[in-house]
Amino acid sequence: MLYLTRKIGDTVVINNNIEVTVVEVRGRSVKLGFTFPKDATVLRKEIYEKILRNSPNTAQVREALEDSSSEPSKRAIGSAERGG
């Protein structure tokens, strides 16, 4: 695992086409912004694990992930999106 120290406004680039930006730090919470290709799928780990637990086979997991990748490519992910 790679560990980085970043400040608000700092961005990390992954694979030349994914950007992760530190948007806000409040107490022990960090709000991150993601920019990524439209065909990429980004899920919080707990959501990904829930999909795996509830899917009897890999085909259903792939289908669920493909459905989620049709959403806009620049968006907030996680509880920050809901204001929490």
**Which pLDDT score, from 0 to 100, does residue 6 have?**
96
Environment class of residue 19 by beta-carbon count within 10 Å: exposed (0-12), middle (13-18) or buried (19+)?
A: middle
**The token pair that represents 29 in the structure block:** 């919470």
17-39: pLDDT as tens digits? 999 999 999 999 999 999 999 99
Q: Where are the domains of the chain?
A: 11-82
- The helix or strand, by DSSP H or E, that contains position 60, with its residue range, turns out to be helix 58-68
42-78: pLDDT as tens digits? 899 999 888 888 877 766 666 766 666 555 444 444 4
**Which pLDDT score, from 0 to 100, does residue 62 have?**
67
